Amino acid sequence: MPGRPRAGSWIFCKKAPENAAHGSFRRTSFQFISKPAAPPGTGGSRRRGIPLTRPALILGNSGCAHQIAQGLADAGTPVILATADRGKNGLPAPRRDSARVEIVTGATLISCRGGPGGFDVTLKTDQGPYPYHVSGIVVAESTRRRPHTETYGLALSDNVWSLSQLTAALNDEAAARAFASQTVVFLTGLFAESQPLIAREAMAACLWLQQHGAGTYLLTGNLKVAGEGLEALYRQARQAGVVFAKFSASRPDIRQEPAVQILFTDEVTRQGFRIRPDRVIIEEAILPGAPIADIAACLGLHTDSQGFLQTGNVHRIPVFTNRPGILAAGPARMAQDARGDAVDAANAVSQLLALSRAGAIEADTRAQIHAGQCIRCLTCYRLCPYRAVILNGRLSVDPDACQRCGICAAECPRGAIWLPDLTQAVVSSRIQNLRKTCDPGPGKPFIVAFCCSRSAVLARDMAADQGRGLPAGLGVVEVSCAGGLSLQHLLAAFQNGADGVAVLTCHPGNCHSEHGNLLAKQRVSQLHEWMSGIGLADERLLAATLAANMGTAFAEALNGFAARLQTAQNKAGRPPREPVPG
């Protein structure tokens, strides 16, 4: 018999159309639409299973962007490459370079609606807004450089240059000859960590200058040689006579007025040295290109602390973002060398090809919004990490973008959203089945563990493979994301006889749904605050974060939990199990 909630426990919970998954539905005063409206832009023809080859959209004018365009065109997919750069002849009008690649110059992204397989994008050009209908989007905007002038307390001048200024000058033989017999000092990594791209450029420039008669010095903090060929380049530079000085405990004293002078104590010889160079070259920070911030805002993409389009979230490797169908590649993703860009280009091409050829969609198990109950508070729209909620008068869910995390359903204040696999009725019945099959034996605790499919479930499998003992009364409820767990779900577990309830999620920063784990943690905290007020000891609820490879930690957490529950049971002298309401 399904459990019926007691009146008191519904105060903080939301109503849900609990029988919707079973087909029957209690009619009330609102109108129920049995299928969600098809989101605009996806095209009915695709739904009926006719594959179309739609263009892919590339934002950016970098080498990586061009490689992606080439790869897609070679595979027969049309491409639109849009960049704010203007054409050489100054005309910003779109022109066709080849049968399949359309280049749009002077373009910026204004809006984007729809989902993977069918995005409606509007680009602003000098001739006005242009709409495009594309299967997928990849951002590959070039990086930009910012010299570390403030960090080093220097101003750019005749004899203080940035690294880019120098490398540009070295392309001109005449200008390069001007450096012969000059003393040139390079500064990297002294007041902020540098990186391999900078180390390569600086050492290559040193080597070239040294070979052409200059006396070069490179003063550095940590020299970042973790890149292909960089150790060899360092050795070559040394052999050519470049003098390196590394600073760990101290820093050089660098002055610009009245003339450039550098004083330092060499940490190996403990000798004080002075250099009065003809030129000082300062390194630069490599930052995301200028259009990236606006693109991220427009598309709802998460960025890292520097503004690049990929956070450290493991689920985004190699070229994914939080939005299905939208990729970040090459310099838009991180500052990397040409090889990294090429690998990203290849990955982007293969993903975009799959999108452009997407055929019929399988059975629709995504989130559904009950139009009659929705009050258009836009909570789901704002919270969805995949931007899968579409606002077009009415709110609906794009089935291709929806990842079934359940965050919208758990957060909706009206309970107007449901996931077929995650309604309270479905979860309650799963727990009841577990109660029967995982009988722990007399006096031992029955534990319901809500486990995120991407971390805790895999950790449980690993623990089982490793032969680690798990509590006898452990029942695992797998959810695609812990963010879909509402207070109702947690209470349902207690109502159905759980002695303890555990919520096991991905580590902070590694949630596939970006903030699903944080939301789950918040709900557990909420419940902790007032559960003793309704007769549930708060030790009976546990929250923990895990990674997929933490089998040992999984076993330890649950065995520890079981032991504490056991102790509490023994102390109380009787099983504290709630009677299963009939």
Partner 1 sequence: MTETCIDLDQLDHGRFSRWPFSQECCLTCGICASACPVSGVDGFDPRKLIRMAGFGMAESLVESRWPWICTMCAKCEQLCPAGIDIAELIRQIRGLRDRDKVPGILHKGLAAALKTGNNLALPKEDFVFILQDVAEEIAQEPGFTGFTVPIDKEGADVLTTIHNKLVNTHTEDLKHWWKIFHAAGENWTIPSDNWEGTNWGLFTGDDESMKTMVGRIVENMHRLKAETLLWPE
Q: Return the residue of 21, 73, 243, 287 that touches partner 1, per CB under 8 A.
A: 243
Comparison of 270 and 574: residue with beta carbon closer to partner 1:
270
What is the closest distance, in whole angstroms, from the C-beta atom of residue 245 to partner 1 in the complex?
A: 9
Our finding on whether 274 is near partner 1 (CB under 8 A) is yes
The beta-strand segments (E) located in 201-242 are 215-220
Our finding on whether 469 is near partner 1 (CB under 8 A) is no
Which residues between 173 and 212 bind partner 1 (CB under 8 A)? 183
Dihedral sign computed on CA atoms, order 540, 543, 548, 551: negative
108 Cβ partners below 8 Å, 6+ apart?
84, 123, 124, 291, 294
- Residue 223, classed as helix, strand or coil, is coil
Our finding on whether 266 is near partner 1 (CB under 8 A) is yes
Which residues between 132 and 151 bind partner 1 (CB under 8 A)? none
Our finding on whether 130 is near partner 1 (CB under 8 A) is no
Q: Which stretch binds partner 1 (CB under 8 A): 239-247, 292-300, 333-341, 364-372?
A: 239-247
Q: Which stretch binds partner 1 (CB under 8 A): 103-111, 240-248, 361-369, 430-438?
A: 240-248
Mutual angle of helices 456-465 and 551-572, in 10-degree steps = 90
What is the closest distance, in whole angstroms, from the C-beta atom of residue 224 to partner 1 in the complex?
A: 15
Q: Which stretch binds partner 1 (CB under 8 A): 68-76, 241-249, 451-459, 574-582?
A: 241-249
Q: Which stretch binds partner 1 (CB under 8 A): 235-243, 320-328, 467-475, 477-485?
A: 235-243
Q: Which of 371, 367, 421, 420 lies closest to 393, judged by CA? A: 371
What is the separation of C-alpha 485 from the centre of its chain, rounded to a whole number of angstroms?
Answer: 21
Instruction: Report the amino acid identity of residue 249.
Output: A
What is the closest distance, in whole angstroms, from the C-beta atom of residue 192 to partner 1 in the complex?
A: 22
Pairing status of strand 183-188 against strand 279-282:
parallel
482 Cβ partners below 8 Å, 6+ apart?
450, 452, 503, 504, 505, 506, 516, 517, 519, 520
Written in H, E and C, the secondary structure of 338-403 is: HHHHHHHHHHHHHHHHHHHCCCCCCCCCCCEECCCCCCCCCHHHHHCCCCCEEEECEEEECCCCCC
Comparison of 167 and 265: residue with beta carbon closer to partner 1:
265
Q: Which two tokens stand for residue 227?
A: 């890149």
Comparison of 258 and 441: residue with beta carbon closer to partner 1:
258
Q: Return the residue of 276, 376, 394, 577 that touches partner 1, per CB under 8 A.
A: 276
Pairing status of strand 417-418 against strand 368-369:
antiparallel
Q: Is 373 exposed, middle or buried (0-12, 13-18, 19+ CB in 10 A)?
A: middle
Torsion of CA 301, 415, 542, 579, to 10 degrees: -170
Our finding on whether 252 is near partner 1 (CB under 8 A) is no
Our finding on whether 293 is near partner 1 (CB under 8 A) is no
The beta-strand segments (E) located in 457-533 are 474-479, 500-506
Q: Return the residue of 66, 113, 133, 246 that touches partner 1, per CB under 8 A.
A: 246
Comparison of 53 and 182: residue with beta carbon closer to partner 1:
182
Q: Return the residue of 101, 197, 275, 565 that touches partner 1, per CB under 8 A.
A: 275
Q: Which stretch binds partner 1 (CB under 8 A): 232-240, 284-292, 341-349, 476-484?
A: 232-240
Cα separation, 485 vs 523, whole angstroms: 8
End-to-end CA distance of the chain: 7
Q: Return the residue of 3, 36, 277, 331 that touches partner 1, per CB under 8 A.
A: 277
Comparison of 119 and 208: residue with beta carbon closer to partner 1:
208
Q: Return the residue of 8, 128, 272, 582 that touches partner 1, per CB under 8 A.
A: 272
Comparison of 235 and 376: residue with beta carbon closer to partner 1:
235
What is the closest distance, in whole angstroms, from the C-beta atom of residue 256 to partner 1 in the complex?
A: 17
Q: Which two tokens stand for residue 532?
A: 């003793």
Cα separation, 104 vs 82, whole angstroms: 5
- Which residues, in sequence order, are bridge partners of residue 243? 217
DSSP string, 396-428: EE-TTT-----HHHHH-TT--EE-GGGSHHHHH
Our finding on whether 13 is near partner 1 (CB under 8 A) is no
Q: Return the residue of 2, 153, 241, 469 that touches partner 1, per CB under 8 A.
A: 241
Q: Which of 374, 422, 426 lies closest to 396, judged by CA? A: 374
Q: Which two tokens stand for residue 222?
A: 């940590």
Comparison of 219 and 353: residue with beta carbon closer to partner 1:
219
- Dihedral pair phi/psi, residue 353, rounded to 5°: -60, -45
Q: Which stretch binds partner 1 (CB under 8 A): 236-244, 398-406, 476-484, 536-544?
A: 236-244
Comparison of 108 and 256: residue with beta carbon closer to partner 1:
256
Our finding on whether 226 is near partner 1 (CB under 8 A) is no
Cα separation, 351 vs 77, whole angstroms: 12
Comparison of 273 and 381: residue with beta carbon closer to partner 1:
273
Our finding on whether 268 is near partner 1 (CB under 8 A) is yes
Q: Return the residue of 4, 177, 235, 339 that touches partner 1, per CB under 8 A.
A: 235
Which residues between 333 and 362 bind partner 1 (CB under 8 A)? none
What is the closest distance, in whole angstroms, from the C-beta atom of residue 460 to partner 1 in the complex?
A: 45
Q: Where does this chain bind partner 1 (CB under 8 A)?
A: 183, 215, 217, 235, 238-239, 241, 243, 246, 263, 265-266, 268-277
